[in-house]
Amino acid sequence: MFRNLLAFEQCHGSTNCINDFIVLINRLVNTPKEVEFLIHNGIIENWLPDIDGVSTLFQNLVKETNIIPDNFYFARLVEDMNTYCRSPWHMWRASLYELTLETYKRNPWAGISFFTAVVLLTLTSIQTI
């Protein structure tokens, strides 16, 4: 389907929506782990027999595309995403999430103790005020 849409757009389209979409998705699905994350969150659907096929599909499709940087359809989206990711608050939050996710996988009691510590810290702050 993507190959047909891309060919149609290259022959008849005045915009590069599909072309730019394929380039954008290819940047998001480099590894099977990233594909699994996007499938789990409902961003993409996998109709292929395995997860590796999705990243391979987009890598093969990108070979047939041309990028025009001045006319990139999703430029505003990429700019907003880069601005969001450069914020120190979001970087710290992502690091904390990654750290706690790895800890929770190893030991469920770590999650309980972290939650308890947050509740106690909140209650102590309220009592101080």
Q: Are 60 and 95 members of one domain? A: no
82 shares its domain with 96:
no
Domain that holds residue 125: 88-129
The reply to whether 35 and 8 lie within a common domain is yes
Can you list the pairs that 120-125 forms with residues at least 24 positions away whose Cβ atoms lie under 8 Å?
none
Say if residue 52 is in the same domain as residue 111. Answer: no
Taking the C-alpha atoms of residue 117 and residue 57, their distance in angstroms, rounded to an integer, is 45
Query: Per residue in 16-39, pLDDT tens?
Result: 888 888 888 888 888 888 888 888
Q: Are 93 and 82 in a shared domain?
A: no
Element at 16 (helix H, strand E): none
Query: Based on the domain organization, do 44 and 79 belong to the same domain?
Result: yes
Same domain for 56 and 102, yes or no, is: no
Question: What pLDDT, in 10s, does the model give residues 58-105?
Answer: 888 888 787 787 888 888 998 998 998 899 998 888 887 777 666 666
Q: Are residues 48 and 60 in the same domain?
A: yes
